[in-house]
Amino acid sequence: DGGITQSPKYLFRKEGQNVTLSCEQNLNHDAMYWYRQDPGQGLRLIYYSQIVNDFQKGDIAEGYSVSREKKESFPLTVTSAQKNPTAFYLCASSIGGDYTEAFFGQGTRLTVV
Amino acid sequence: QKEVEQNSGPLSVPEGAIASLNCTYSDRGSQSFFWYRQYSGKSPELIMSIYSNGDKEDGRFTAQLNKASQYVSLLIRDSQPSDSATYLCAVKGDGGATNKLIFGTGTLLAVQP
């Protein structure tokens, strides 16, 4: 089955620790995205990547880092510099280019304890 | 000015009525427009995409796009309680970046039995 897989579904982090969220897709999509969603809020773009080895900052990139070494994978690291990391994190992918749709993984719910 | 704006709601409609959801966007260069449905605690699900001016119908859903006025809307006919969810408007190609996908804050729809 083709799809987008995010892991883990739930993640707990101690303050001051870095943590990496996984996003893998087997749809052969070029573009991949990371969003953050806070309770009752919309999706805010953290980073996106249009092709392998390239990525751009979104609106709230501070405190986050990404890599795109393989087409299938776009991991997101939440660093200790992110002051309020508790949120629902969503990864999406798209074929890329104009007039193409994006599809989402299940999401990872990160809680700082 | 927000890039993609939606009324947060809640929009309450009786079962069987037409629900009308609206969205405006700021970047005239945007090319692709999407509506996603998100149930509480779940990831967004794509329900409609529209790329040219006019109406696009799919079952009970109709998306409408007016690029001159920079708005896109979603009509849901014969609304059902199962349609109760948050509806997210998304715009692609923001700021001239082809793959940049930006979301509004969402409109909460409540269909009353």
Provide the b/e sequence for B88-108 (b: ≥16 CB within 10 Å).
bbbbbbbeeebbbbbbbbbbb
- How many A×B Cβ pairs under 8 Å? 66
DSSP at A30: S
Interface probe with B: pick from A32, A54, A57, A99, most Cβ of B within 10 Å: A99
Q: Which residue type sits at A100?
A: T
Q: Is the peptide bond before A8 cis (omega within 30 degrees of 0)?
A: yes
Q: Do B99 and A94 touch (CB under 8 A)?
A: yes
Distance from CA of B47 to the nearest CA of A (A): 10
Average pLDDT in the B27-46 region? 94
pLDDT of residue A113: 87
Query: Three-state DSSP class for B101?
Result: strand
pLDDT of residue A96: 85
pLDDT in tens, A79-100: 998 989 999 999 999 998 878 8
Measured over all CA atoms, what is the biggest interatomic distance in chain B, rounded to whole angstroms?
A: 44
Is pLDDT of B97 > 80?
no
